[in-house]
């Protein structure tokens, strides 16, 4: 599988991505953007130092002026692009993927990378036709500046007790320190940087990975907990009873806070619970569903000037920033709790999410994927519904919906469905099984 994805460059190290590949990426980026000034960072993965060095060498060998901003969470790169005199930037990271993965995220300007930009980098990197012009390399300790900016933005009005689970990732030394500077009491969990991620999987959106932080919140009587992903741009919250809060409910709380005085559009991925759309309408905003994927959500978020946007995966975007930041989200949640003077469990109790499946991932060869989509779409001939092909096929009924889409990382299809009642949800999934017998085994294994 190609390392050039829709939103970034990513693969297994060293089998799919290695120093030579990343060196070529660096040369390609500098060739496509002559004499560009770039900030370059990297996460805590074991392969990151070598890959980052290769990326920087490639950039410099084709004329870029590189500022090495050190080991950083990805949101610190976004902060750098706003506050440094640079044309763009890159960071070596594989985000929430397992330890064996690594990759490169890059940006020029405010907008995220699109498919055409990724194809251009791939074409130049593959051709070997690079610009030859010696660039330069300097270093800047950016992390203290990023942390200080957050500490100035947020001040605790109540001394909440917060469990910070950094998952041994890039927020390990950053998040606890910033929370303390803001005036909160912090209890640390998995806050030693370790690219092997020994504490838990780096993807906190897999709620099954959060047993340790849930238990620590309960045992310590904390007000809430937060779990970050590997590069710190995602966050998942745990209420004071030690229960993971689904990300749609967290987004609803942000919507209620940020649209209270000035309703704006809100962007969210189309597989989100209908509770999100309902909350936007209740606050006088405009619901803007978008296809899943960081770059798609971010682009639409910027285009419609939304106050907030979110993904089921735990990305939360804020109009104050112009990008997503897991730590900013966590500090906003703490501020929200201080203002509400209610526990997180009470705030989420009134958010009703209809019965919904998790993402059900099903192996499917690339050659068969379009047939699967067409088979699902054909259900509309027998059952009254709206058909959307924004990303895959989504069938929207009066009392529920079904979404089937291609995975961007593997030979898989991903299914999700929601309905007003458990009985209707089972009926919708039975429709899927009838149209796609291949899906029956995966649905049964998931309890459906």
The first and second tokens of residue 16, run together, are 């799919």
- Confirm whether 95 is a catalytic residue: yes
Model pTM score = 0.95
Give the chain's residues under pLDDT 70: 1, 409
Beta bridge mates, 66: 38, 137
The first and second tokens of residue 334, run together, are 């703490």
Write the pLDDT tens digit of every residue in 57-69: 999 999 999 999 9
* Runs of H (alpha helix) within 154-304: 174-182, 211-220, 247-258, 274-282, 294-303
Matching fold, domains 9-141 and 154-349: yes
For residue 125, give the 3-state DSSP assignment.
Answer: helix
CATH topology for the 360-445 domain: TATA-Binding Protein (3.30.310)
Rounded to whole angstroms, the Cα distance separating 329 from 317 reads 8
> Which pLDDT does position 447 carry in this prediction?
87
Q: Let me know if 109 is exposed, middle or buried by CB neighbors in 10 A (0-12, 13-18, 19+).
A: exposed
Exactly one of 62, 95, 292, 313 is catalytic; which is it? Answer: 95
In this structure, which CATH number among 3.30.1490.20, 2.40.30.200, 3.40.120.10, 3.30.2130.30 belongs to the domain 154-349? Answer: 3.40.120.10
Could you give the count of Cα atoms lying within 13 Å of 333 in the half-sphere of its Cβ? 34
* Domain ranges for the chain: 9-141, 154-349, 360-445
Write the pLDDT tens digit of every residue in 270-311: 999 999 999 999 999 999 999 998 999 999 999 999 999 999
The first and second tokens of residue 405, run together, are 């889409």
> Which pLDDT does position 409 carry in this prediction?
66
Q: What is the DSSP string of 382-402?
A: TS--EEE-SSSEEEEETTEEE
Q: Which CATH architecture is the domain 9-141 placed in? A: 3-Layer(aba) Sandwich (3.40)
Phi, psi of 446 (to 5 degrees): -90, 5
> Which pLDDT does position 211 carry in this prediction?
98
């Amino acid at each position: 599988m190609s390392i050039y994805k829709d939103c970034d460059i990513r693969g297994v190290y060293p089998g799919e991505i290695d120093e030579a590949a990343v060196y070529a990426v660096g040369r390609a980026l500098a060739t496509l953007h002559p004499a560009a000034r770039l900030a370059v960072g990297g996460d805590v993965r074991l392969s990151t130092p070598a890959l980052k060095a290769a990326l920087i060498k490639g950039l410099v060998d084709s004329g870029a002026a590189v500022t090495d901003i050190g080991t950083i969470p990805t949101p610190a790169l976004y902060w750098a692009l706003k506050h440094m005199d640079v044309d763009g930037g890159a960071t070596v990271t594989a985000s929430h993927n397992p330890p064996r993965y690594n990759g490169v995220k890059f940006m020029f300007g405010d907008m995220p990378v699109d498919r055409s930009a990724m194809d251009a980098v791939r074409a130049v990197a593959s051709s070997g036709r690079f610009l030859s012009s010696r660039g330069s390399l300097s270093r800047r300790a950016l992390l203290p500046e990023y942390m200080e900016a957050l500490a100035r933005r947020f001040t605790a009005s109540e001394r909440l007790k917060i469990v910070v689970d950094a998952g041994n990732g890039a927020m390990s030394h950053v998040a606890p320190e910033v929370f303390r500077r803001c005036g909160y009491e912090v209890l640390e969990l998995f806050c030693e940087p370790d690219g092997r991620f020994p504490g838990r999987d780096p993807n906190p959106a897999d709620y099954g990975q959060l047993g340790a932080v849930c238990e620590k919140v309960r045992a310590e009587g904390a007000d809430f907990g937060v779990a970050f992903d590997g590069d710190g741009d995602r966050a998942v919250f745990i209420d004071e009873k030690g229960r993971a809060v689904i990300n749609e409910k967290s987004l609803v709380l942000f919507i209620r806070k940020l649209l209270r005085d000035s309703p704006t559009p809100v962007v969210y991925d189309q597989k989100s619970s209908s509770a999100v759309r309902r909350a936007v309408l209740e606050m006088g905003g405009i619901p803007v569903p978008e296809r899943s994927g960081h770059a798609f959500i971010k682009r639409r978020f910027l285009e419609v000037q939304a106050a907030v946007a979110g993904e089921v995966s735990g990305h939360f975007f804020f109009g104050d920033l112009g990008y997503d930041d897991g730590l900013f989200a966590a500090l906003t949640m703490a501020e929200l709790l201080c203002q509400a003077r209610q526990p997180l469990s009470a705030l989420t109790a009134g958010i009703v999410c209809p019965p919904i499946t998790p993402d059900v991932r099903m192996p499917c060869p690339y050659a068969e994927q379009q047939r699967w989509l067409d088979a699902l779409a054909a259900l509309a001939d027998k059952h009254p519904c709206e058909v959307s092909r924004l990303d895959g096929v989504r069938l929207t009924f009066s009392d529920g919906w079904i979404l089937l889409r291609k995975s961007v990382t593997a030979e898989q299809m991903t299914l999700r469905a929601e309905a007003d009642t458990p009985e209707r949800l089972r009926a919708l999934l039975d429709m899927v099984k009838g149209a796609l017998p291949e899906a029956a085994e995966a649905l049964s294994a998931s309890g459906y």
